[in-house]
Structure 1
Amino acid sequence: MPKSAPLPRLLIASLIACYLIWGSTYLAIRFALESFPPFWGMGTRFLVAGGLLMGWMLWREGRAALPTPRQWLHALVIGAMMLGGGMGLTANAEVYVGSGLIATFIAVVPMMVSALGLLFGQRPNRLELAGMLVGLAGVLLLMRGASFSGEPLGILFIVGATLLWSLGSVLSTTRMPLAAGPSGFASEMLCGGVVLMLLSVLAGEPAPHWPPTAAAAIAWIYLVVFGSLIAFSAYLYLLAHASPALATSYAFVNPVIALLLGVWLGGEVVTRGEWLASGIILLGVVLIFRGRQVRPSRGPAADAGTASVPEPGRSA
C-alpha cells in the first residue's frame, strides 16, 4: 500500500496551536478572574480581539470586508448565544469549579449539537447515537464527583453555557450564517463583547481590581492575542486545508490539556472518579466524530455542520 503523504508543517503547527492554546484558555480564564469579573473580563477581551481582527480586514479589503446589515443581525444573535451566554457563563462557572473539569464538561458540546440537530431534521446515525449515550453517562458520573456535587451554581452555569453555545453553533450553520471568513468571526466577537458588557452591568458586577495582578493581566492578554487571534487564525487555516474531522479533533484533546494544566499549574484536585468520567465523556466525543465520518455527504451544509462543533474556546 502507498504511504500517506506527511502533513505539511504549517498544518501541524496549526493543529498544535489549537490543541495547546485552546486547551490552556480555561486556566487562563481562571487566572484572569483574580482581577476581572467574569462578564467584564470576557467582554473586554472579545471587544479588543474583534476590533483588531475587523480593523485588519478593513485595512486589507476596505469597506467590502464589512458584513451586511442582515449578517450583523446574525452576528448579534449568534454572539449573544455563543459568547455572551457560552463564554460568559463558562467564566462564571470557573468561580466555583476547576478549569480542567469545566473543559471536560464542555466536551459534550458535539453531543448537544447532534441532539439539537434533530430540531432541524438531522438524524444521528448509530455511532453518533452511541456517542451521545456514552457521553451522557460520563456527564452524569462527573456531576456526582466532589467538584460538581457541592456547587449547584457551577453546574447551572456550565449547563447553560453548553446549551447556549450548542444552539448558537447549530443556528450559525442552518438559519443564521455569519459573513464569510474572518469578518464573520470579528463581527461575532464585537457583538458578543457588547452583550457581555451589558450583562456585566445588569449583573451588578464589581469594578475590576486595579491595578490587576500580574497573573490576571498576563492571562487577559494571552486570551486576546493567543486564544482569540493566533489560535483562531490557525483554526481558519485548518478548516480550509484539512478535513472537518481533523480540523475539529481538538474537541477531544483540549479537555486533556486543560485537566493536566489545571492540576500542574493551577493546583486543582481531580479525583479518580472524575478522571474516569472525563475519559468516558471523551470516548463519547470520539464515537460522534467517527459517526460523522461515515455519514453520507449531503452537500456543503453537511460539511459546515461537521466543522462547527467547537466548545467554548473556538473564538476564545
Structure 2
Amino acid sequence: MFRFIKAAAVAALVLPAAIGLSAGPAQAEKIRIALAETPSDELAAFFVALDRAKANGLDYEWTAFSDEELAIQSVLSGQMDIGFGTPYAAMQRSKAPLRIIFQLSKLKFFPVTTQKYNSLEDMNGEPILLHSRGGGTDSIANVIEERVGITFGERSYVPGSSNRVAALLGGRADATIIDLSNKNKLMRSAAGADFNVLEMFEVDASDEALFGNLNWIQENEEDVSIFVNALVSVWQDMAKDPTIIRRETNPDGPIGQLPAEILAELDGFYADAVEGGLYDPNGGGRKAAQADMEWYSAAGQLEGTPDELNIEDFWYLAPLDAAMN
C-alpha cells in the first residue's frame, strides 16, 4: 500500500476521479473521508472502527479515490475533510496546515530472493525488481543501501507485489521487495522453500495514516475525538484478538459485500498483520512521528535532517493523546 506523492494533481480532477461513494447525498455536517483505494480486506479494520464511531454519534461519508495523490489533493482543496496517506512532501510544500492524527499501518515490506542470496549484504551490486521508479519500494531500496552500506545493481520495475512474485516464480527475477501478505502467501506455498526472506531492520514509519487540515480538525474537535477513540479501540482489540475484525464486520457494509473467499481469509490476514507488527495499537503517536521524520527524510520526501524537523509541523497529537488517557 506504500505510495509516494508525485507531481501535484489538478484539484479540479479530484472529484471526477472518485470511484466510489457511500450512500446518501453529501452534507456539510458529515465528516467527509477520502480513501486512497476501494474497500478491500486491508480496510476491514478501518470500517469496523467507522461502525464503532457511528454508534457513538459520528456522521460520515466516504469516497474512494483511484490513488493516494488524488485523496491528498481532495483534502488540500477542502473537498474532503480526512484523507488516507503519508503526505509529507505536500505538508512541506503546501501552505495548507495538513496534520496526521493517526497511524493506520507501518511500512512492512520484505526483500525476497532466490536461494542465491542469504543476506542484504549479499545484494551488493546485484539487480533488484521494484514497484516503480521513484516510488515506495524504490525508496525502501535507497534506505537499505544507506543503512546496510551496499549499492544495488540494476533496478527494474514491475508494479504490484503479486506481479513481482510471479516474476520470481517464473525465473525472471532473483530479488524483489514485496508486501507482508504476498510474502506470506509465497513462503507458505509449495514453492516457498526455493526462496529466502532476507532479514530486514525494524521500521516504525507510517505506510498509511489519517490526516486533515489542522483548522478543520480543531473546529471539529468532538467528531475527531469520537473517530480517533474508535480507531484506538479497534486497533487495541485487534492486537489482543485479530478475529475481532471478521466478527464485527457488517455483512451489509462495503467489506461484507466483498467476495466470500476474501472474507474467509480475514482471520488469517489480520493474524499475520498483527504478528508481523503492521499495526501499532497506540496509533503511532510520537514514536511513529519521529520514525517518519527519519524515514521520509532518508527517502527524499522531506527536506532537512530528522533533528531539524519538528514533528508538530506534521502531526497533531492532541486527539490521540486524549484517547490514550
Structure 2 length-normalised TM: 0.28
Larger radius of gyration: 2
More helix by share: 1
Give the structure with the larger strand fraction: 2
